[in-house]
Structure 1
Amino acid sequence: MKFESTGLISIEIDGKIYDYKLFQSLESLNRTKSQRKSAKELNISHTVFNRRLLKAEEKLGLKITQKAGNGTLLTEAGIDLLNEFRKYSIQIEKTSNINIAGGHISSGLLESITKSFNINVYSSSDKDAFELAKRGAVDILTLDDPLLAYELNIDFTPIAYDYLVLISSPNSKEITSINDLQGLEFVNVEGSAQRLAWNSLEHYDIDYSLKKTVNSQFDAFKLVKNSENLHSFLNASFFKGNEILKFDTRHVISLIKVNEDKPEVDEYIDFILNDGQKAIENQGFTLI
């Protein structure tokens, strides 16, 4: 699928133009998880809102939403589409807002604790966010895993600690020791701190297999919970699970200042490292 920016309010995908109304709808639905609530928020009828999504799916040839109980969630394709729009919006928009791009966990943390600053957040993998930062499209890069910074010898600022917990399918056997992990099948999250879990399993001579790979921890969680016998290691700050590899998978959540010429960026980082620390702790992270 080919994406091209065509201005402030539209994106061209495979030769077809999608205007801001679609992405406005996806942003709202991603937040409310309800078509009716989003329709009300956008001051349109539920019928118009639903027709807008169906028309987009027909043009794309992809499902971008899915029913979940009494609500509606974005599919992985829908999330990818929304993130592409966010990415182009960040690149195009030149404002005093602080533009942040980073891994799902670190960027989600900053978005959830920041109320007094004007920020735009693009959530992706560490690698994709780094590519955006290289093009000068963001002011701050956040990393779920400091590996990229270590590999490229880039200075980073630690803002919190996190670790991984084991998430298992509902009917899986109880895991009480490292040896219970022998032979299990896992969902891999591309570009996440899971490398620490896989390294640990190899260190303990545990035979395991990676059956599926997804782009976000939230997709991994849904996949595991809806399967018969799958597992995954996900961040403890966002998910409750078995802490069997807690000390083996402790890692730093960090940020990198990309824009040196915007005073708001320094003010924001100062807030994160000082007054914002209590809010970070309340989100389930361990303070530096």
Structure 2
Amino acid sequence: MKFESKGLISLEINGEIFDYKLYQSLDSLSKTKSQRKSAKELNISHTVFNRRLLKAEEKLGVNITKKVGNGTILTSDGLKLLEEFKKYIIQIEKTSNINIAGGHISTGLLESIQTPFNTNIYSSSDEDAFELARRGAVDILTLDDPLIAYERDINFMPIAYDYLVLVSSPESRNIESISDLEGLDFVGVNGSAQRLAWNSLRHYDIEFNIKVRVNSQFDAFKLVRNSENLYTFLNASYFKGNELLKYDTQHVISVVKVNEDKAEVDDLIRFLLNDAQKSIEKQGFSPMG
């Protein structure tokens, strides 16, 4: 899909104009996973909400949502569309607030912490967030995995530790040792710290297959919980699971200062490194101290 900006609150996609209402709908649905809940949140009827999505799908020629159980989630095309809206909104928004973009885990952590600062927090993959930072569209970049910073020799500041746990369906066979992972099928999550798990399995000479790839750890969780033949590695701060590779997959959740001219950016980072550490620990992460 080819994206172009039009006006202040719309995008032109393949010659069709999509306004801010669609962005609101996609953004809400990405969080609630329910059309009825999102419709209520936006103070519109479920019929209007559903028609808005169907009309967008008709114009685009692709499905942007799909039913999962009793809920509805965004497809990869829906997530891509939402990310393009977010990128555009960040770029056109002129605000004194601190604009933050980053991975789902790191931004989720920041959203859970009460701070004395006014912030706008945008959740995406590490790669998309880095692109926004490269354009100078955000003040702070947060990273679920410091790989991007390592590869580009970017200074980053760790604010917490996390590690990965093996997650599967209650009906899946019991995993007691690393050798039990031999030949299993996994769900991969794009832009996550899972590379640490895959590298560890290769180090232990374990053969495995990444059968499905998704863009969200929450989507991966739903897939494996509904299949006794699929497994995945997810962040221990958000999910419970087997700690088989705990020490192999420990990594830092970090922030990168992008805007050098806004004094509040330094103040927020200092807050995260000091006063916020107890709150970070309460959210399931290991503090830096």
TM-score, normalised to structure 2, is: 0.92
Cα shift at 1:112:
2.3
Shift in Å, 1:251: 0.5
Q: Which portions of structure 1, spanning 4 or more consecutive aligned residues, are displaced by more than 6 angstroms?
A: none
Structure 1 residue 286 corresponds to structure 2 residue 281 = no
Say whether the 8 Å CA contact 1:90–1:120 is kept in structure 2: no
Paired position in structure 2 for 1:276: 276
Which one is further off, 181-190 or 26-35?
A: 26-35
Given that 2:168 and 2:228 are in contact with CA atoms closer than 8 Å, whether structure 1 keeps it comes out as no
- 2:31 & 2:41 partners in 1: Cα distance? 11
Q: Which amino acid aligns with 1:44?
A: I
Deviations 1:110-161 (A, max 9, x none): 1222454322222222222212211111111111111221222211100000
Q: CA deviation at 1:107?
A: 1.6
How many percent of aligned residue pairs carry the same amino acid? 75
Post-superposition offset of 1:68 = 4.4
Partner of 1:205: 205
The answer to which of 240-249 and 72-81 deviates more is 72-81
Q: Which amino acid counterpart does residue 97 of structure 2 have in structure 1?
A: N
CA distance in 2, matches of 1:184, 1:34: 31
In the alignment, structure 1 residue 250 sits paired with structure 2 residue 260: no
Instruction: Specify the code of the residue in structure 1 equivalent to 2:117.
Output: F
Asked if 1:126 corresponds to 2:160, the answer is no
Deviations 1:57-94 (A, max 9, x none): 21122222334454433333323222221111001112
Alignment partner, residue 168 of structure 2: 168
Q: Is the contact between residue 76 and residue 219 of structure 1 (CA under 8 Å) also seen in structure 2?
A: no
Quote the residue 1:66 is aligned against: 66
Letter in 2 for 1:6: K
Structure 2 contact 169–226 (Cα < 8 Å) conserved? yes
Alignment of 1:1-288 (within 5 A): 1-114=1-114, 116-288=116-288
Q: 1:201 to 1:60 in 2, by over 3 A?
A: same
Consecutive unaligned residues in structure 1, runs of 5 or more: none
Provide the TM-score with structure 1 as the length reference.
0.93
Amino acid at match of 1:265: V
Equivalent pairs, count: 288
Tell me, what secondary structure is at the counterpart of 1:150?
A: helix
Compare 188-197 and 57-66 and name the one that shifted more. Answer: 57-66
Following TM superposition, by how much is the alpha carbon of 1:206 offset from its aligned partner in structure 2, in angstroms?
Answer: 1.4
Q: What is the alpha-carbon root mean square deviation over aligned residues?
A: 1.8
**CA distance 1:101–1:243, change in 2 (3 Å):** same
State which drifts further: 273-282 or 8-17.
Answer: 273-282
> Counterparts of 2:130 and 2:42 in 1: how far apart (Å)?
33
Question: Distance between the aligned counterparts of 2:272 and 2:225, measured in 1?
Answer: 34
User: How far did 1:28 drift?
Assistant: 2.7
Residue 229 of structure 1 and its aligned partner are, at CA, apart by 0.7
Q: Deviations over 1:210-231 (max 9, x none)?
A: 2222222222222222334111
Q: Is the 8 A contact 1:185 1:230 kept in 2?
A: yes
Q: Show structure 2 runs of 5+ residues with no match.
A: none
Amino acid at match of 1:54: L
